[in-house]
Amino acid sequence: MRFAPLARTWALVVALGASTLAAQAQVSWSALTLSFNQPTGVVGPNDPIDVWLTFANTDPTESFIVDNSLPLGGLNAANLPTHAWWFNPNTQQDELRPFASYTEFSLNIGFGCSGSFTTSCTDGPPYQFNFSGSPFSLPYELGPGASQSYLFGTFVPSHGPVAAGSYEFYRSVVWLDVSGLDAEGNSLTAVTFPATTCPFDSASQCTENGYGFFTRTVEVPEPGAFVLMGLGLALLGARRRLPG
């Protein structure tokens, strides 16, 4: 499972004492959802395709918060990774190390490399995906029962007109980078995903597990349609030239 992130970073230093490890009154990841605003549609072979998403907090009492002025950035400690992989240059091996402190939290959007719009993650053919920019600003808060819609990005035909057919995209994520230090002062970085449109690898699995996916049907006009359109334009031009 691969992702292409669009990152925006905010610094925060928090020591992991016993008091900070107690869960804060803040929404659990399970209450956060990410869904496609217009999951189906019909487009032409040269049309760019905007992808709009809605990030929602279904918890009726607690907020989802990322705020550098708060302990743990306002995040629930139960949701944060406690360990991260670190490459030991002496042994030339990756080692799983516990966080002794957090130094940075970054709330981002990510493109999950799935579906048939592109052949290599965000690169085509038939389409190339262009991020629209981060929709999140600091401090960020999604209140109880609140939601935020945003333009995630755009699929653009990358090698001329796209062939007729149906194209699918399964996975966008809200991406939280967590950086910190281990007890020896080595830098650690881990990733967690507060919300995703679908964690699976096919449209059928998304549907079977209650997730949606994004699809667009490309329709190429029949040759006869171009002929009729040309005749219509010709008649319109002739009528405009007639006197009276």
pLDDT in tens, 29-79: 999 999 999 999 999 999 999 999 999 999 999 999 988 778 888 898 899
Summarised one tens digit per residue, pLDDT across range 180-200 is 999 999 999 999 999 999 999
Instruction: Kindly indicate the confidence band of residue 208, based on its pLDDT and cuts at 50, 70 and 90.
Output: very high
Question: Facing residues of 123 across strands?
Answer: 120
User: pTM for the complete prediction?
Assistant: 0.82
Report the pLDDT value the prediction gives residue 73, as an integer from 0 to 100: 85
Domain that holds residue 190: 3-241
Contact partners, residue 17, CB within 8 Å, separation at least 6 = none
Q: Residue type at 22?
A: A
Tokens coding 181: 């230090």
Residue 41 amino acid letter = G
Distance of alpha carbon 131 from alpha carbon 152, whole angstroms: 6
Q: Of 133, 110, 136, 134, which Cα lies nearest the Cα of 122?
A: 110
Please report the pLDDT score of residue 117 as a whole number: 97
Q: Measured in whole angstroms, how far is the alpha carbon of residue 76 from the centre of its chain?
A: 21
How would residue 221 be classed by pLDDT, with cut points 50, 70 and 90?
confident
Q: Is 223 helix (H, G, I), strand (E, B) or coil?
A: helix
Assign 2 a pLDDT band (cuts: 50, 70, 90).
Answer: confident
Structure tokens at 213: 């996916």
Q: What is the mean pLDDT of the chain?
A: 86
Residue found under tokens 């004492």? 17
Q: How far is CA 158 from CA 43, 45, 127, 140, in A?
A: 15, 11, 5, 35
Identify the band that residue 231 occupies on the pLDDT scale cut at 50, 70 and 90.
Answer: low
Strand pairing class (93-98; 83-88):
antiparallel
pLDDT grade, residue 103 (50/70/90)?
confident
3-state secondary structure of 239: helix
Give me 52's structure tokens. 């709009």
Q: Report CA dihedral (69, 75, 77, 83) to the nearest 10 degrees.
A: -90
pLDDT tier for residue 10 given thresholds of 50, 70 and 90: very low
Determine the Cα–Cα distance for residues 146 and 59; give it in Å rounded to an integer: 9
Q: How many domains in the chain? A: 1
